Amino acid sequence: MGTRFRSYKPEQMLLMPPDMQDWLPEGHLAHHISDLVDGLDLGAFYAPYEGDGRRKAPYEPRMMVKVLMYGYATGVFSSRGIARKLEEDVAFRMLAAGNFPRHRTISEFRRRHLKDFKSLFVEVVRLARELGLVRFGKLSIDGTKVRANASKRKAMSYGRMVKEQRRLAGEIEAILRKAGSADAREDARYGKEFRGDELPEELRRREDRLAAIGKAKERLEAKQRAADEARGRSPGQERNAKGGKPYKRGYGEPDEKAQSNFTDPQSQIMKTSGEGFQQCYNAQVAVDGERQLVVATKLTANGSDQGEMPGLLDEVEATFKKRPDVVLADAGYSNERDLKELEARGIEGYVASGREGKKGVAANPEKHPATHRMAEKLATATGWEIYRARKWLSEAPNGWIKHVLGFRRFSVRGLRKAQGEWDLVCLALNVKRLQPMMAR
């Protein structure tokens, strides 16, 4: 007797339309995101369309938010990748409910609403707080370098800019002289009425590059002037007012090694843990000690973590009206001013003065009393045990972002836009981690 197989008729037409909700099993992440977004305030996403009067109806913002959030929660960050998933992936198709926005539409929607994802991030953290999953009693702060949407090969040092400016200016002058001689010969041959005033392609390329270098040079010089003024130096001042020693460089003159990137000028060359020096932003998070949910975010173009801790704490206090009892941070955040600030706020800080496993920096109790007190606290077995929780509290979410979600490079350019995408990434991580917690 022959084997009987289960029925398989791919050509069979359905008499009744299927319910798209049944395409996925109960408890699937897509259902969780759909239900969660339906309960969020999306007023900022609808506001641009009010009174628009356009004839062609735009895509439903609620659907676009769901698709974007699910994409980031499952490691699909590019607009082209999301558009492709909308055609191939059941979960994406269920969330889009028969809509197939093109990648340009997805990219434009994300760009237009980057600043609005912050409000959704805050709303989700408030929801977690209502559920008792966030308490703000203990916060752990950490930063991670995330690649910018730019290559370090598109950067140039100030010293090289000066040399390139001279070289290109010389080449342009030579081309112009050559073009002038050619014009004279053509005038003699064809007459002065002959049209030959178009710029040679070679000249246009050099002029474009010279203009780009000039703008990058101006950015570096403006940044250096601001740094000089912050240190108390004024134009024309050639000697240090404190020591009387002459400055190494003129006012507003950057160091020869100072770099600017032509693709994303606001990003910086930073040292990463596994990829050497790359064009990056420094992504900051404050993580709640209860369930390791991210409660505050910040993005900087500075490779150092110095001075970032108070800003994150200010954001938590201003947004959620809550001041943590305990704050953990690594040696990158250790400085006398910020440690005094923690004491003034009544926050019990545990901030290392050196790398874990190595002896911390000795602090003079008279010149740096707060740093000295912190070192004494961490020298105790209890203090060190509390501090060590930082390793799994805040470092783990950064690891999940890079190794579970797979987010290692920004899709947008510029500090403000990249900040919006970082908010979206942390929102997606929180939403994904909330799914099993809310199911209990």
Give domain status of residue 440, yes or no. no
The reply to whether 288 and 386 lie within a common domain is yes
Please provide the distance, in angstroms rounded to a whole number, between the alpha carbons at the two ends of the chain: 49
The reply to whether 199 and 274 lie within a common domain is no
The reply to whether 287 and 396 lie within a common domain is yes
Q: What is the pLDDT of residue 275?
A: 84
Cα gap 88→100, rounded to integer Å: 11
Report residues of the chain scoring pLDDT below 70: 1, 5-6, 8, 14-17, 52-55, 154-176, 178-221, 228, 231, 236-237, 239, 241-244, 247, 249-250, 252, 254, 256-260, 262, 355-362, 440
Q: What is the pLDDT of residue 300?
A: 96
Full residue range of the structural domain in which residue 368 is found: 134-151+265-414
Cα gap 137→326, rounded to integer Å: 6
The reply to whether 98 and 215 lie within a common domain is no
The helix/strand/coil state of 278 is strand
The reply to whether 286 and 311 lie within a common domain is yes
Give domain status of residue 313, yes or no. yes
- The CATH number of residue 140's host domain is 3.30.420
Residues, the chain, total? 440
The neighbour count for residue 129, using CB atoms within 10 Å, is 18
The reply to whether 145 and 181 lie within a common domain is no
Give domain status of residue 209, yes or no. yes
The reply to whether 291 and 400 lie within a common domain is yes
The reply to whether 138 and 168 lie within a common domain is no
What letter would DSSP give residue 55? S
Sign, Cα dihedral of 165, 171, 176, 179? negative
The reply to whether 84 and 145 lie within a common domain is no
Q: What is the pLDDT of residue 135?
A: 94
The reply to whether 276 and 242 lie within a common domain is no
Sequence-ordered list of residues with C-beta below 8 angstroms from that of 189, at least 6 positions apart, any chain = none
* One-letter amino acid for residue 228 of the chain: D
Instruction: Tell me the pTM.
Output: 0.81
The reply to whether 189 and 224 lie within a common domain is yes
Give domain status of residue 32, yes or no. yes
Q: What is the pLDDT of residue 158?
A: 58
Cα gap 440→436, rounded to integer Å: 7
Give domain status of residue 427, yes or no. no
The neighbour count for residue 99, using CB atoms within 10 Å, is 14
The reply to whether 351 and 368 lie within a common domain is yes
Count of structural domains within the chain: 3
Give domain status of residue 206, yes or no. yes
Q: What is the pLDDT of residue 190?
A: 43
Short-list 72, 184, 163, CA closest to 117: 72
Sequence-ordered list of residues with C-beta below 8 angstroms from that of 17, at least 6 positions apart, any chain = none
Q: What is the pLDDT of residue 356?
A: 61
Would strands 155-157 and 259-261 be described as parallel, antiparallel, or unpaired? antiparallel
Give domain status of residue 3, yes or no. no
Short-list 20, 40, 42, CA closest to 31: 20
Given a contact cutoff of 8 angstroms between Cβ atoms, the answer to whether 220 and 158 are in contact is: yes
Give domain status of residue 15, yes or no. no
Cα gap 190→98, rounded to integer Å: 65
Cα gap 143→337, rounded to integer Å: 19
| CA distances for 254 relative to 198, 219, 235, 309, angstroms | 37, 10, 14, 28
Cα gap 420→412, rounded to integer Å: 9
Domain end marker among 261, 290, 320 = 261
